[in-house]
Structures are given as structure tokens and as C-alpha cells.
Amino acid sequence: MSADLAAARAEIAQACRVAASRGLVDGILGHISARVDDDHLLIRCRSDSDRGVAFTRPDDIRLIRFDGTPGAAGELDGYRPPNELPIHVETLRAHPEHHAVAHLHPPAVVAVDLAGITIEPIYGAYDIPGAWLARRGVPVYPRAVLIHTAALGKEMVAAMAGKPVVICRGHGITSAAATVAQAVLQAISLDQLASMALRIRSAGGTCTPIDESDWAHLPDLGPSFTTDAAWRHEVARLEAG
């Protein structure tokens, strides 16, 4: 096994644990992947000894082909790809700019959509990346199905409409990005938006987008702050346990 693949397995496993620590997944549901090349990806797979996403190990991240077959000898010995592999494959096929996909089940996001609440930029400097994510729009795939076929995967990608995140109604979310860290951080931001919207509604308030004039003062702070530092915090938070 190459050092690059070993490092990528460790990175995806860590991202799975971060997602679980943030409450974006529970039990054995949810998976994260990373593109290796045009025909291979690394993805969290399941085994008979699987203890859940919160306990993901690098060994749980397996190299497979886009068609679900082993990417190398022994890769699926004792392991099986997730049933919703088409979520990852069809997203990566449709968007070469994306190298990572996170399919997660954040309860607040599922609840806010089922309550008929649209994700909007209801705050600004509280979470600038999240505010911009909301401003650009978070689409909804309206079917509460297990996305276990290529046809359903393509439907979800079409609903995604070129945006980095889509809500799967009555199901969860799919977040795609250039890196594993970005995919999970987007999911965290979406979960925070949903949680805040539910808190506002439960307090009897109305979810109102911020003033248009505020956007000029909500700049992109750059990857060293928005991704690198944020991810260091998530990893430290996980390790502090």
C-alpha cells in the first residue's frame, strides 16, 4: 500500500469520526469518500465487526472501483461497500472539480426541511462560510429513498444543480468539495444553519435573511482561516474527546 493511500485512508477515517462527534451521523449510517482517479475511490465500507461511524478506523476505508468492485486484491475481503455508493460515484462523475463526498444524516437539517423551513442566510459573521453557503442556495432532493441505484444517484445530482450541498428529504445530506475537510466543514455549517433556524422558530421568531448591505463586509477570509484553522479545531476537538 502506497504512503499516499495510507494517508488518505487515515484522513477519511478521521473525518468520519469528526462527523460523528458533531452529531452529523449516528450509529452505522453515513459514509465519506475521496476520489483516487477517474475509476477509483476510497470510501468507508462496512464489515461484520463494524462498531459505527464514530469508531471508524483507517482499515474501514477501502479502495474500490466506481462499479463497486475491489480496487486492488483483497480490498473487499471482509468488507462491503455502502448500499448508497451511487451517491458518491454519480457526484464524482458529474463534477470533476469535486474530490470528496460526505453523505451524512444530521437530524436538524432533516427536521428543518420537513418543517418547511428554507435554509437562508439568517446570520452573517457568526459563520461567514455558512452564510455564503445559504446565500448561494441549498437545494433539496425531494425523494426520501435509499439512493442505491445509478438512476437515483443521477436524480440526486440533478437536484443538486451544481451546488456543493443538497438536502435529501427525509434522509440526510450530500456534501461535495475539493477536499474531505471541506466536505465535512460544509456539512457542519449547514447543520448550524438548520439548528439556528429551529431555535428561532421555537422561540416564536421569524427566520429573516440578513440585510443585503451586509454582504460587502462578509469577505472570504481564505483557506488558512476558513478551512485549515477550522479543521485543526475539529481534529483537536475530536482528540480532546
Residue 48 in grid coordinates: 461484520
| DSSP-assigned letters across all residues of 70-85 | BSSTTTTTT-B--TTH
Catalytic-role residue among 11, 75, 84, 90: 84
Place of cell 427566520: 207
Cα gap 200→194, rounded to integer Å: 10
Cα gap 63→66, rounded to integer Å: 10
Of 122, 138, 130, 134, nearest to 220 by C-alpha is 130
Length of the chain measured in residues: 241
Cα gap 133→165, rounded to integer Å: 8
Is there a catalytic annotation at residue 84?
yes
Residue pair 47/38 in contact by the 8 Å Cβ criterion = no
Q: Residue 223: helix, strand or coil by DSSP?
A: helix
C-alpha pair distances (Å), 208 with each of 31, 53, 230: 33, 35, 27
Residues catalogued as catalytic: 84
